[in-house]
Every structure is written in C-alpha cells, then in structure tokens.
Amino acid sequence: MPTDAPVPDRPVPRTPADRVLPAGFRLGTATAAAQIEGAADIDGRGPSIWDVFAAEPCRIRGGDSPAVACDHYHRWPADVRDLAELGAHDYRFSISWSRILPAGRGEVNRAGLDFYSRLVDGLLAAGITPVPTLYHWDLPQALQSEGGWLERSTADALADYAAVVVDALGDRVTRWLTLNEMNVHTLYGHALTDHAPALGLGLDCLPVAHNLLRAHGLAVDAIRAAGGRHEVGVVQQHFPVLAATGATGGPDDDNAVPADAEAADLFRVLTNWTFSDPILRGRYPEDWVAELVMTSAGLTAQQLEQDLVAISRPLDHYGVNYYEPTVIEAPRPGKNYSGVLEVDFPEDMPFRPVRIEGVQRTDFDWPIVPSGLTDILVQLHERYPNLPPVTITENGCSYHDEPGPDGAVHDDRRIDFLRAHLGAVVDAIDLGVDVRGYYAWSAMDNFEWAAGYAERFGLVHVDHESQERTRKDSWYWYRDLIASACPAR
C-alpha cells in the first residue's frame, strides 16, 4: 500500500508562442481588500473578522497584522499605474463590506464608497475593466457578534450591502462577482480554526455553507434588480480529488481500493460539489447532504426548495480558482498526517490527505500540477452541460524571491508556473471548455491570511516595512505575453 501518491503531469510548455490563446481572451490580476488595503481604522471603516482574528495571539504567522497590509488605500494610484503598464485587461479586486457598512447593515459610510468610486474611475481611465468581488471572507465583526454565517439573516444583510454597492458603482461597473471561495471560507474558518472566525464546528458548519450559498443567490438578485447591463458571476475554488491508491489522473480510478475511493468521493462531494451543484444544478449533490443541511440549519423541505431556486439563478460567467489537486485516503491507524496540507483535518474525519510526490513545489510547499487545472475544468464542463463561460479568477504561486544586488527580483520559477498553467488552460479549451480569461494571483505581494507576509504571490514585490514596490521579472514576462498574445486594448 503506497504511502505517497505520485501525480503524473504533462510536459511544461516553454514559451508563450507554444500555446495559442483564443482571440479576445482576457488577462488580468486579482487581489482582495483585506489582503492589500490596510487603513483598517481610517475614514469610518468598521472592524472585520480578520482584524479581530489577527489581534489574537498565535493566529497569524510572525504576529503579522493586516492593519496596514500594502497600504493600497492610500497608494492605489501607483498600483493602478502598475496594472496599466502591465497591459491588464481586467482587474479583480474585492470590496470591504465593513468599509461600506461599518456595522454590517444600516448607516452607509460615504467615505468608503468614495474610495471605491475613485478606484473604479482610475481603472477605467487606464483602460482596465474593474471586476469587483462583493465578499472575500471579511465579514463585519458586528455581524459575527450576532452569529455571523450561522445566522440566516446574514445572507439578507449581504443582499442589502450588495444593493448599496451596485447603486453607487453600477453606472460604471458592469461585471460583478458575488462571493469568493465559499468552500474554503466554510472549511478553514468555520469547520476548522485556521482562518477567521475560527469556530471549529466540524460538519456542524453546514448551515454556514448554505447561508453563504443563499447570500450568493440574493446578491445576484440585488445586482440584477439595479437594471442596466450587469454581468454576474461567482468565484469558486475547484480542484481534482484523487484516491491515494489510484492517483493516476481521474476521480473514479478503478485501481483505487474501495476505502480510499470512498474517502476521496466523500471529500470531493463536501469540498467541490456541495458548493457548485446548488448553483449550477439547483440541488445538493447527495440526498444526505441536503438532509444534513436541513437538519443543521433548521429548514423545512419547502424552505430548502425555495432557497435552492434563489441560489441557482442563471449566471453570466463562472470564476474558478485553482492552486493544487488533493490526494485522499481512508485514515491509516497510527499514521501521522500533520503538515500534509496547509491545514490539518480533525481526527474524527473519515478522510486524510496524502502528500503528492514526484512534482516540484512552491516555497509555500504546495505541489505544482498544471494538468490538475485542465482536469478540473474538464470535470466541470462534463458535470454541468450549461456551465457559464469560465474565467480563471485566481492562479498563482508563492516564492520568497527578494530584490538582488541589481535591485531586480528574478523569479523565473513564477514565470515557469504561469506559463505552464496558461498552457493547461489552452489544453482545456482544446477539449471543449469555454474559458474566456485568466487572472494571475496576485497583483502584488500581500497579507496571505494566516501565513501573514511570509508568503509572496505577487507579480510586484512589496517591502512591507517601506511599502516600496518592485516589479518582478514575472511582471515583465506577463506584460510581454499580454502585448503579444492578447492585445485587447
């Protein structure tokens, strides 16, 4: 019985010319408010769950805080200039709910709306399409104190917040994303304690999942109610899940022993399809998931049916974040699974992660498997016949490269990573998946959640002491790729 699972990969394309991106393909970058803005207590912003979480001892690596982050709140004109000179077609950013509604509902903070209005105007003046995400994990602490995402009313509050934002920006913003990575937010921050708000509920977190999904549906309605030409989508993290004893590339590998195959299937259902099936199929992936949701959230069958109608409103586009596949096995007595993934699973879970061997890894120790992006895109395409056009809304890697004696940041490994994953996107397009764009994570080094500032995902290096920005070699490579492959502007 193998203890480590090799995942075979396809050859890495070496030059942009090796892969032909379709005409009109959109290239851009992505960030999130809590990770770059700073200005945590400036101009009326209220605290979010991440401000409270980061202030607790031992929560964030190195004791880091998002209070200043990249100071984007004050330095946004220079950051937009970096994006403009990059040639980015689109810029995906998120809006801080507590900067708009410090208490989560009620009185609107005009200074917060004005900040995003200036940012949107600056992007448009630079020829960049703004693509805001309404919620990227930073719930106002005032709502968390009322129960947060365990409360059904939080979804209604998000819908009201969405209406405020669309009313202020909808005359200029036409492309919207509702929520980011509901699966990660549910699992890391609610099932486990690795992210804010650190509830540690285990499978009792399913009401959180349902309320986030309902919030998405209500946000779609709020955006469309504003009228105009709004395109609405959502951002989901998706990844292939492989059984350890049969990890040769497919989710239903006949070589997997039954216990591992069952464990992998359960994990796949809970982490992928529980969050996408309600949106794209109008139902939960298994009857037992629906029953658990109803029981834990206190819903009747009629309430669940009504919620799923709202959750499954048609979308104009679908965002996929991809970083790595996951290999799963049934628990082995006495085996130590600590540190296999970024987070450890509770002992009572019926599945365990297996380290992927035989591939290169980032400095965050994440395995690099570009073919996993092709595989999950094809899985989505086959599972959902009416899958909306896809944008890769996040894909990137952390390398700890610093400016050298010449003042430059030579991050060749990031260039190889981006090149390989763009090649994987082209492979998926060749197999029939409608992929319209790709956003590199991230525009700049930022606050990497519980990892603090140690991990660097950016195309632009940020000295978090001085806030000095340095464009990395990957920034220049991406600029040249945009200019040569997809000159949309």
Catalytic residue among 37, 394, 448, 455: 394
394 is catalytic: yes
Catalytic residue among 181, 324, 448, 455: 181
Other beta carbons within 10 Å of 366: 17
* Cβ atoms of residues 434 and 389 within 8 Å: yes
448 is catalytic: no
* Cβ atoms of residues 284 and 312 within 8 Å: no
Question: Whole-angstrom Cα distance, residue 361 to residue 4?
Answer: 15
Residue 347: partners with Cβ closer than 8 Å, 6 or more residues away: none
What are the residue ranges of helices labelled H in 87-238?
Answer: 97-100, 110-125, 141-144, 153-169, 182-186, 206-225
Question: Whole-angstrom Cα distance, residue 375 to residue 373?
Answer: 5
Helix (H) or strand (E) holding 394: strand 390-394
| Two tokens, residue 418 | 């981006």
Residue 439: partners with Cβ closer than 8 Å, 6 or more residues away: 27, 28, 29, 30, 90, 92, 391, 392, 393, 394, 395
Look up residue 367 and give its DSSP letter. Answer: B
* Cβ atoms of residues 51 and 67 within 8 Å: yes
- Active site positions, annotated: 181, 394
